[in-house]
Amino acid sequence: MSIALSLGNNLTTGGIFKPTAVNNTSVNNVTDFASVAGSSTLVLLSTQTASASASISFTSGIDSTYDEYIFKFINIHPASDAVNFTFNLSTDSGSNYNVTKTTTLFHAEHAESDSDATLTYRTGEDLAQSSAYQYLGYQGADNDQVVCGELTLFSPSNTTFVKHFIAKISNQHPSEYARNIFMAGYGNTTSAINAIDFKFSSGNIDDGIIKMYGVAKS
């Protein structure tokens, strides 16, 4: 109450706080910043580092604890040139990655030479009721060519609705293009998703880190 009165007494007639409205005394009396409406917390659940890895899979920790799971890609580098970075989902803890998906994808790209710049819907990279791995980017293998970005999986443990996901990717095309890729879709299953797999279409993941976060429930 004293904090509210102090702030109220320091409002101008125009509704603007005076410089004295917030000071050490008022801030020291605030005991719970975490309860501010709209706040959310990312909880780091797992970190995996590739080293000539065929794939990176998360087969535990995806459950009803969180309504959102975010996977962050940090400098994912392929061993082979001109390959697709992809993912798939599992309902049996990783025994099979074959969830039926429908997706949509577009990208913006710009050549290093400044000779070309486009914004394109990629009809060849989307899926229509397919259990194939979903494309997240066509990737070069030079040392200055890596995949960075994130994928969010929503309510994977829900057994009433399908499982939506969305991804935002920055990567380098083998022909020296910077690409910004946007992909969204859903796994067409009411079974709980409990595992996810990331890999290149050919060859190993030479290097890179994938972190899995849970978004704390409000």
Residues 118 and 15 in one domain: no
**In which domain, by residue range, is 21 found?**
2-31
Residues 48 and 138 in one domain: yes
| Residue 36 is assigned to a structural domain of this protein | no
Residues 88 and 7 in one domain: no
Residues 9 and 92 in one domain: no
Confidence of residue 199 (pLDDT cuts 50, 70, 90): very high
Confidence of residue 76 (pLDDT cuts 50, 70, 90): very high
- CATH number of the domain within which 54 lies: 2.60.120
| Residue 37 is assigned to a structural domain of this protein | no
Residues 62 and 159 in one domain: yes
Mean pLDDT of the chain: 89
Residue 15: predicted pLDDT: 57
Residues 171 and 75 in one domain: yes
What is the per-residue pLDDT across 105-153, written as a single tens digit (0 to 9) for each?
A: 999 999 999 999 999 999 999 999 999 999 999 999 999 999 999 999 9
Across 58-82, average pLDDT: 98
Residues 6+ apart with CB under 8 A from 114: none
Between residues 95 and 12, the one the model is more confident about = 95
Residue 35: predicted pLDDT: 46
Residue 217: predicted pLDDT: 83
Q: How far apart, in Å, are the Cα atoms of 102 and each of 18, 76, 82, 205, 210? A: 54, 25, 24, 26, 24
Q: For the chain, what is the domain count?
A: 2
What is the per-residue pLDDT across 16-49, written as a single tens digit (0 to 9) for each?
A: 556 565 555 554 555 554 444 445 699 999 999 9
Residues 113 and 160 in one domain: yes
